[in-house]
Structure 1
Amino acid sequence: MGDYAELPGVRTWYETDGTSGEPLLLLHGGFCTNDTWGAQRADLAAAYRVFLPERRAHGHTPDVEGPLTYQAMAEDTVAFLERVVGEPAHLVGWSDGGIVALLVAAARPDLVRKAVVIGATFRPAAECWAEPGMLDAMTPDSADLAFFREMYEAVTPDGAGHWPAAAAKTLDMWRGQPTLTAEDLAAVRAPTLVMVGDDDMMTLEHTSALYRSLADARLAVVPGASHLVPLEQPGSVNRMILDHLAQDTVETMMPVRRAAGESGNAAAA
């Protein structure tokens, strides 16, 4: 079951799962709905109070006037944390949701306990996608987006005919956003697990740069996985998420980047 939260920026649809534990937000990817978290919900809800907001122009949440931006979606998420959750939460974001999680963690560290970002970027597609030409082939009516179009049309309050406009906004956003720097990422103080498939849409070099720019980070490159790693290997992904959220410190036998302590990661990078 779900409900709407009347937020300043947009009337936001959200669902909840689990009845006890610390709050945890699941932030879906671009073009997606909460259905894509189906392989994670039960495992995470067994230990946490899970909140699943659908962002503007996605799923049951309507589009709003103007372009789609990560900054606006991050502001919506901050408002959701303040008005619906009411306390700091863990953020688990996949793809676009991971970008939103990073922006929220950088701007409002008081609202973020720990973070997990899966297949996330901090620069526009041309600078981080393994095959930037993929974006040129994507159009609202292309076969590549048929699955997402059907998912959107089934639940959007804007009507199926709004898909071309909503899809075009997302594609435009990917071309020019996000535009974060290493200095911006260094503002993220929450312990963060950076996860990526070894054959992800995002280059491993870009993911490594993201990991190295964060002050307190762990890196997981999942073998035999693509950008859809939460669907392909849910057992491994869920275990890594739960382990990260439960672990207070990282202790290894031969630390290098962590030799000066977790707080020294950014400087060591």
Structure 2
Amino acid sequence: MTNVPPTPAHLGIRLKGGLRHHYVKVGSSGPPIVFLHGFLDSWRSFQAMFVRLGQKFQLFAYDQRGHGDSEPATDYAISDFAHDAVDFIERVVGSPAHLVGHSLGSIVAQRVAAARPDLVTKLVLIGGAPTAADHPGLRELQASLAEFTDVVPNEFVEAFQRSTVFAPISEDAIGTYIAESAKVSIGAWRGALSGLVEEPADSGERSIAVPTLILWGEEDGVFDRDAQRALAGNLPDHLAINYPQVGHAPQWEIPHRVADDIEKFLLAFPAKAAD
């Protein structure tokens, strides 16, 4: 197996929601994986895993609305993010895919799997929860944005991203993630936060039959152990792996271990046909 990082092809598509989305593609063969990043992140959130997963899978990672190099939106409801994901799978991938979501992306991935199980072969949820409706920490973050008018200061962006990790990562890596977050407008900050905390509380109560891998860092300061129990309760066909001494972003902190666990799950656990 080569350790040379694959070179992503940078592409774009205007989805049905009217926004042009930037995405990257790695590889041309193997089962497809679609990656959904978290709040303020971009496709680069998963880049450290591409060298491993790109050996056996075809990888697609797009910048969600208002994030990375995709166009900003006026609407950031979780349902809007989910509609984007469905359209992306149907029009870009063109077949059912494995769906990997982190944080915000994990919630979006669950909505897609619940509504369109025919499009999701297997599901991987990293640092996730059934919902972030009325999440107290995110409500506090939402309130703190009130002091800013036109832009979110770089030092605020940096402090936020550094607060999400526990295990040490390189300054080059965290610098990349901070730079990607700095692209997000204050409107997208506010809109995406509102979409998360104002989602109907019962949105995360629907059972999902798709085989699912739950990955969680035990030092996650965003979604706690209770959230993981609630998540598992909605997933009758799941495998859960907890990482000691790891925070909210395992794919940043221990990318090789996470990629290994994802690969083993996707290859070893047979998918069930959608009803």
Question: TM tier, shorter chain?
Answer: 0.7 to 0.9
Q: What is the alpha-carbon distance in structure 1 between the residues aligned to residue 234 and residue 144 of structure 2?
A: 30
Structure 1 stretches of at least 4 aligned residues deviating more than 6 Å after TM superposition = none
Change (3 A) 1:181 1:174: closer
The residue number in structure 2 matching 1:212 is: 233
Q: What's 1:225 paired with?
A: 246
Name the counterpart of 1:259. none
Given the alignment of the two structures, is residue 55 of structure 1 paired with residue 84 of structure 2, yes or no? no
RMSD value, Cα: 2.5
Task: Give deviations 1:82-139, integer Å, cap 9, x for gaps.
Answer: 1110000000111111111111100000000001001112233544x6x567525642
Is 1:176 paired with 2:198? Answer: yes
Greater CA deviation, 100-109 or 117-126?
A: 117-126
Superimposed CA distance per residue, residues 171-230 of structure 1 (whole angstroms, 9 cap, x where no aligned partner): 22233236345641x1x2210011111011211011111112212111111111000211
Q: Structure 2 unaligned runs (5+)?
A: 1-8, 146-151, 162-176
Shift in CA distance, 138/194, structure 1 to aligned 2, threshold 3 Å: farther
Q: Could you tell me which of 143, 150, 153 is aligned with 1:141?
A: 153
1:101-180 matches, within 5 Å, as: 101-124=109-132, 126-127=134-135, 131=137, 134-135=140-141, 138-139=144-145, 140-141=152-153, 143-146=155-158, 150-153=179-182, 163-177=185-199, 179-180=201-202
Equivalent residue number for residue 81 of structure 2: 73
Instruction: Tell me how far apart the structure 1 counterparts of residues 84 and 239 of structure 2 sit (CA, whole Å).
Output: 27
Aligned position for 2:42: 33
SS at match of 2:131: coil
Identical amino acids, percent of aligned pairs:
31
**Residues 122, 180 of structure 1: 8 Å contact kept:** no
SS in 2 for 1:143: helix
CA distance in 2, matches of 1:18, 1:123: 33
Within 2, Cα distance between the matches of 1:7 and 1:244? 30
* 3-state SS of paired residue (2:124): strand
Aligned length: 240
Of 195, 206, 211, the residue aligned with 1:191 is 211
Residues in 1 aligned to 2:254 and 2:90: alpha-carbon distance in whole angstroms: 33
Read off the aligned partner of 1:199 and give its amino acid letter: E
Structure with the bigger RCO (C-alpha within 8 Å, sep 6+) is 2
